[in-house]
Amino acid sequence: MRVDAMRILGGARTPFGRAKGALASFGPLALARAAAEEALARTETALEDVAALVLCTGAAASFPPYPARVLAHELGLAPDRPCIAVLEDAVGPLVALDRHLARGGLTLIIGADSASAAIGNQEAGRSILDRMSTDPDTGLLLGDDAEAVARAHGLRRDALDSIAIESHTNAARAREEGVLGAERVGLFAGADFEEHVRDDQCIVATASAQKFAAAPAMKSRPGSVTTHANIALPCDGAAAMLAGAGRRGALLRRVVVAGARPEGSSLGAAVAAVLEAEGVALGDLQALELHERSAAHVAAALKELGFGIRQKLNRAGGAIALGHVPGGTMLRHLLCLRARLEPGGLGVAAAAGGGLCGAALIEGAER
């Protein structure tokens, strides 16, 4: 979709917490509300200026019925505002930008989930996490899907570990420089709300080739290259963003969403499609944000796009380092672009998974 004068005003996120970790006492709706309230405060947006709400996640099982409407009630949104839930995991926010932006005001987009709440829950005889991690086209769990991608593209274990290490290294540096702190709002957790959780829990500051090489392969078959260290693990958290017509905020130049490509890299194809639609060359990008579903998926995309773009990739880390929040991960990438891009600079955020792929081309603006 060609987006006319739509902009990303800003937003915020909670810390991303390890499953059964510091944020385990929060349900996904509570995380969503915390991120949404902070996004509204940071953008100085009044509730009456919000024309629509979109809640993005991977599965509804951890939420109450009609979760978007329930969240809107908790926030105090006017009852005549449409509230939509999009269950498309990482691509959900791109679907929201492509299909659900309100034309008469601002849209509040939230991505949230709780791996802690999903652990142990069953649906149709399978765990919720297993169902969320299974590709609907191939029927493969994430680890198996990443393994198949690695074999199809001839990717070696050390190359995948290198991408994973870079994600952690970038995230650790961004944390030290205060970049991650600027993204987040801290939460008070625990039975008596005695613990102030400010930091992301999954970043490995001491990531090294030696440490990652010691991680066992997920499959015992010879030549297996996928480990729990080079895929994105589900975590607890939320992010929220305000988008809509206006004169302030990063310009949303173009959004593309399509069915996943069975051959090649859907992630790379989404980036190429949004660039082609706007007549922009890959080398013109100042920044690139890709959802790190696994190191294999990222490496396959880089192989198609060209490894020269890697130096511009996920400079504040990605889902391999921070953990993956369905919906929340892509909103974070979009907000990272808004923060990274200089006025007039171009960046792309893209994701693939769950049978969909999508990308957004963003142009930086004065803050």
Residue 225: how many CB atoms within 10 A of its CB? 22
Task: Look at residue 42 and tell me if it is in a domain.
Answer: yes
pLDDT number for residue 262: 65
What confidence score (pLDDT) does residue 62 get?
A: 85
Q: Is residue 63 part of a domain?
A: yes
85: β partners? 55
Print pLDDT tens along the chain (367 aa).
Answer: 555 579 999 999 999 999 999 999 999 999 999 999 999 999 999 999 999 999 999 988 889 999 999 999 999 999 999 999 999 999 999 999 999 988 778 999 999 999 999 887 766 556 777 777 888 888 889 999 999 999 999 999 999 999 999 999 999 999 999 999 999 999 998 776 778 999 999 999 999 999 999 999 998 788 899 999 999 999 999 999 999 988 889 999 999 999 987 666 899 999 999 999 999 999 999 999 999 999 999 999 999 999 999 999 999 999 999 999 999 999 999 999 999 999 999 999 999 998 899 999 999 998 7
pLDDT at 137: 83
Nearest one of 318, 113, 331 to 234, comparing CA atoms: 113
Residue 121: inside a domain: yes
Q: What domain range includes position 16?
A: 8-134+233-245
What's the burial of 120, exposed, middle or buried (CB within 10 Å: 0-12/13-18/19+)? exposed
Residue written as tokens 């974070």? 332
Q: Where are the alpha helices (DSSP H) in 2-58?
A: 28-42
- Residue 305 in 3-state DSSP? helix
Structure tokens at 72: 């809107």
From the CB of residue 5, how many other CB atoms can be counted at a distance below 10 Å? 10
The residues near 66 (Cβ < 8 Å, ≥ 6 apart) are 83, 85
Angstrom distance (rounded) from CA 155 to CA 177? 32
Residue 357 lies in a domain: no
Q: Is 310 exposed, middle or buried (0-12, 13-18, 19+ CB in 10 A)?
A: middle
122 within some domain: yes
Domain assignment of residue 176, yes or no: no
pLDDT at 164: 99
Task: Please tell me the total count of domains within the chain.
Answer: 1
Residue 43 sits in a domain whose CATH number is 3.40.47.10
Helices and strands, number each (H, E), in the chain: 13, 14
Instruction: Look at residue 102 and tell me if it is in a domain.
Output: yes
Q: Report yes or no on 311 lying in a domain.
A: no
pLDDT reported for residue 2: 53
Q: Nearest-5° angle of CA 35, CA 37, CA 43?
A: 100
C-alpha 244/C-alpha 48 separation (Å) is 14
- Within 43-141, where are the H helices? 67-75, 92-99, 115-118, 128-132
> What pLDDT, on the 0 to 100 scale, is given for residue 1?
52
For 75, half-sphere exposure in the C-beta direction (CA atoms, 13 angstrom radius) is: 37
Residue 324 pairs with which residues in a beta bridge? 234
